[in-house]
């Protein structure tokens, strides 16, 4: 974006610059495979998203991966943002929206609602709800500026959906959810699609569900990151620090996992490491998102371990990721997924690094499941189903079961 012409007060030049930035963003979204359908491309070409983020440069507002944070809580956690164009396009593709549809968006920001409004056209309608009045005000101001009139903005807790405007052909949730409240299922038409960033044992995937009676069945999932849900459905991961030197923090992110023996794990991490290699290789740019979901399906007690880059640079861990790497915990020992270069350029072998008295055995168990994935599941996608709480076990598909207050989520592999 460096060679973007400088902005001047001249409206003609400014409009040309805007359009140039928007076209470049759309091209990038197409190249990334995030925008595919011609109507999605047209929607992203139409909306002047920079009007929602006046505090960043126009060039920044049109970067495909840039999410503009609009609110942070007292702990420093981001709680509201205008999502990155790539993520918005990905979810809109997942929703398969047609003209004339009625859509509920949970989590407002204005920009995504405008894209949804473009997708449904003048015969369709979008209702967007946010729990935070500041955010709905921002969204309303933005939609007034862009002239999208087929959007209703409401301040409420999205946990309950919005029964007054139901039913919806599509529900698009733009905030991380640990559960699926019954209202979202019941306010969706039969066969309708719910697109939701669902956190499953610490791993968030935006899942495209199709309603089939009382259950939801996935039809695609994508890796994503979203701000956490507030209100009645709030359910955050809990951090357990394994190394707390400032700027080098290493922490386990617990999401229904067993309470770890933190003292023993801290000591283990300071001790010697054991390695186990799987023989499974991946390209440098190949995502491990499906492998990681397999690992959490196959292994109990596998939280993510997040580490700062400085922790890796100091040699405390071999892998650092703000999202986290799957880490198998067993008493006072742990092993995390990692990778090492091979003789083939840009190919890496997957394996595990263990610490603690049982570190070698735990690393072997993790490496073994990487091999199982490489042999049996690579190239396949997990199927996620969500059934109402109280559904008896024998009516659920066999697989990893995650029980939440409203839902029994299953992860099943072909």
Ligand X SMILES: C[S@@+](CC[C@H](N)C(=O)[O-])C[C@H]1O[C@@H](n2cnc3c(N)ncnc32)[C@H](O)[C@@H]1O
For 409, phi and psi rounded to 5 degrees? Answer: -95, 135
The span from the CA of 87 to the CA of 25, in Å, is 13
Comparing CB distances to ligand X, the nearer of 145 and 245 is 145
**Nearest distance from C-beta of residue 101 to ligand X, angstroms:** 17
108 given a catalytic annotation: no
Residue nearest to ligand X (CB): 109
Q: Where are the extended beta strands (E) located within 116-187?
A: 125-130, 151-155, 168-173
Query: Three-state secondary structure along 217-251?
Result: EEEEEEECCCCECCHHHCCCCEEEEEECCCCCCEE
Q: How far is the CB of 115 from ligand X (least distance, A)?
A: 8
Q: Looking at beta carbons only, is 93 or 330 nearer to ligand X?
A: 93
How far is Cα 110 from Cα 49, in angstroms, rounded to an integer? 9
**Is the CB of residue 331 less than 8 Å from the CB of residue 286?**
no
Sheet holding 215-223, edge to edge: 151-155, 125-130, 102-106, 168-173, 188-200, 203-212, 215-223, 383-388, 407-412, 400-403
Q: Which of 80, 81, 83, 333 is catalytic?
A: 83
Binding interface with ligand X (CB under 6 A): 79-83, 88, 106-112, 129-132, 135, 157-159, 174-175, 226-227, 229-231, 233
CB of 110 to ligand X, least distance (A): 6
CB of 172 within 8 A of CB of 112?
A: yes
Query: At closest approach, how far in Å is the CB of 278 from ligand X?
Result: 36
State the minimum distance, in angstroms, from the CB of residue 238 to ligand X: 18
Q: Torsion-angle region of residue 279: left (phi > 0), alpha (psi -120 to 50) or beta?
A: left
Virtual CA dihedral for 79, 287, 312, 360, nearest 10 degrees?
120
CB 52 within 8 A of CB 11: no
Please report which residue ranges of 299-406 form alpha helices under DSSP H. Answer: 309-313, 359-372
Q: How far is the CB of 71 from ligand X (least distance, A)?
A: 7
Quick one: 142 or 336, whose CB is closer to ligand X? Answer: 142
Nearer to ligand X, 95 or 280 (CB): 95
Q: Which residues are catalytic?
A: 83
């Amino acid at each position: 974006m460096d060679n973007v012409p400088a902005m001047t007060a001249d409206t003609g030049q400014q409009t040309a610059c805007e359009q140039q930035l928007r076209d470049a963003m759309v091209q990038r979204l197409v190249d990334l495979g995030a925008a595919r359908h011609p109507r999605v491309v047209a929607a992203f070409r139409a909306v002047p998203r920079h009007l929602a983020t006046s505090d960043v440069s126009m060039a920044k507002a049109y970067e495909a991966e840039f999410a503009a944070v609009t609110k942070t809580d007292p702990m420093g956690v981001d709680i509201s943002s205008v999502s990155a164009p790539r993520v918005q396009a990905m979810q809109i593709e997942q929703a398969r929206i047609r003209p004339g549809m009625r859509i509920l968006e949970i989590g407002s920001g204005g920009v995504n609602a405008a894209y949804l409004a473009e997708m449904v056209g003048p015969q369709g309608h979008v209702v967007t709800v946010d729990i935070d009045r500041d955010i709905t005000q921002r969204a309303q101001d933005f939609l007034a500026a862009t002239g999208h009139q087929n959007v209703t903005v409401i301040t409420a807790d999205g946990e309950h959906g919005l029964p007054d405007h139901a039913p919806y052909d599509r529900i698009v949730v733009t905030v991380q959810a640990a559960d699926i409240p019954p209202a979202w299922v019941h306010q969706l038409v039969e066969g309708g699609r719910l697109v939701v960033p669902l956190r499953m044992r610490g791993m968030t995937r935006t899942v495209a569900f199709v309603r089939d009676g009382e259950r939801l069945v996935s039809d695609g999932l994508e890796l994503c990151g979203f701000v956490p849900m507030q209100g009645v459905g709030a359910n955050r991961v809990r951090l357990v620090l394994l190394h707390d030197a400032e700027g080098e923090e290493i922490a386990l992110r617990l999401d229904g996992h067993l309470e770890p023996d933190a003292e023993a794990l801290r000591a283990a991490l300071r001790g010697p490491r054991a390695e186990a290699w799987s023989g499974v290789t991946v390209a440098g740019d190949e995502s491990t998102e499906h492998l990681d979901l397999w690992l959490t399906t196959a292994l109990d007690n596998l939280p993510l371990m997040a580490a700062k880059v400085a922790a890796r640079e100091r040699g405390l861990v071999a892998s650092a990721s703000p999202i986290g790497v799957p880490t198998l915990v067993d008493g006072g020992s742990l092993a995390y997924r990692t990778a090492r270069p091979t003789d083939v350029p840009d190919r890496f072998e997957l394996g595990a690094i263990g610490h603690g008295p049982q570190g070698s055995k735990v690393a072997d168990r993790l490496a073994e499941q990487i091999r199982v994935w490489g042999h049996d599941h690579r190239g396949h996608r997990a199927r996620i189903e969500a059934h109402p709480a109280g559904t008896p076990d024998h009516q659920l598909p066999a697989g990893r079961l995650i029980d939440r207050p409203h839902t029994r989520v299953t992860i099943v592999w072909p």
